[in-house]
Amino acid sequence: MTMRWLGIMLLSMTTALAAQGSVTKTAFGTAPDGTAVDLYTLKSEGIEASIMTYGARVVSIKTPDRDGKVANVVLGYSALDGYVADKSTYFGAIVGRYGNRIAFGKFSIDGHQYQIPTNNNANSLHGGTVGFDRLVWQGKAITDGVEMTLVSKDGDQGFPGTLTVHVRYTVHHGALRIDYVESTDKPTVVNLTNHSYFNLAGDGTTTILNDEVMLPADQYTPVDTGLIPTGVLAPVEGTPFDFRKATAIGARIHDDNEQLKIAGGYDHNWVLRGKNGEVKTAGRVYDANSGRVLTVTTTEPGVQFYTGNFLDGTKYGAAQEGHAKNTGLCLETQHFPDSPNHPAFPTTELKPGETRHSTTTFTFSTHAK
């Protein structure tokens, strides 16, 4: 073999490895029950994402701006103790067994009523008082990423059935992909999502109100004073909820609108175009100062657009880190809130013998001035 061909082969191998990316595992502290928590760092072209086993949380996503400067574009804490102490924001977590709200924590399956803990005034939020965000998942390095596994036993937080969940995070060419797989041994309800807060400026302090957002949805689900859907699919036409064309978040967030007043801003579910189970665009965010663009695609039927209305700057952990109102936005791909109590909504019921699979991808790019 000539040196020339050897060089070409080595170059090809290096290119292939760069495209595949790398996965490293490090210790990230100890959970309150003594369980060790690991941090997996995934690297590929244009992206570096760190995922920890406590809550299967996204700890950081580092991407370049239009000038090539790399920064973390999600909110969180520098150490585990911040996440443990903070019981209200769900930074970066996989939330469940039922992400979002269930009215009064009650639902029925086959005529049997179940009660789960109410932790959001009179309602249940993100699975109850000890949701998936508070548990240590089992991590395993895979090609281009990490697989997180959790077994939620029958009766966990009042939910029926032993639910087995696999969540795979993988990175490739500026994108973080999340694949969810769930199965159960009894009929149950499940609605998993990722609760990352994005700040595309990359400093964690800049308001997101100047970001431009596009949501390709003709309808949304209005809520009552407890932020529970009324059951109506309302048109966005002529309302501050019309983001079918890219619009600055702050352009209408303070409008004299009852829905905005109830939530203190945007904290609603949009009904995405396209069929449930088919990949579709859920939203796009553009930060003009950094040039960063986030595009979200999903197989889910809805997306909860939340503008960090309840962030209040409270400081957590030894480092005393906090985040102010409107410094992060969430695009939580999901089934609709309170679906078990709205038969007309896409069902969240999962039965034995079924395997539910959904995918959401966060793709980062830049836009020139």
DSSP conformational letter for 208: S
The C-alpha atoms of residue 236 and residue 234 are separated, in whole angstroms, by 6
Q: Which of 147, 182, 321, 332 is catalytic?
A: 332
Q: Which of 172, 195, 323, 342 is catalytic?
A: 195
Residue 366: how many CA atoms within 13 Å on its side-chain side?
16
195 catalytic per annotation: yes
Question: 154 φ, ψ to 5°?
Answer: -55, 125
CB atoms within 10 A of CB 80: 21
Return the exposure string of 135-159: e unless at least 16 CB atoms fall within 10 Å of the residue's CB, then b.
bbbebeeeebbbbbbbebeeebbbb
Q: Which residue has the tokens 């609108």?
A: 257
CB atoms within 10 A of CB 20: 14
126 catalytic per annotation: no
Our CA angle for 194, 195, 197, nearest 5°, is 130
Which three-class secondary structure state does DSSP give residue 119?
coil
How far, in Å, are 20, 166, 191, 281, 315 from residue 356 at the CA level? Answer: 27, 10, 10, 20, 38
Burial class (CB in 10 A: 0-12, 13-18, 19+), 23: buried
Tokens of 206: 């800049």
Catalytic site positions? 195, 332
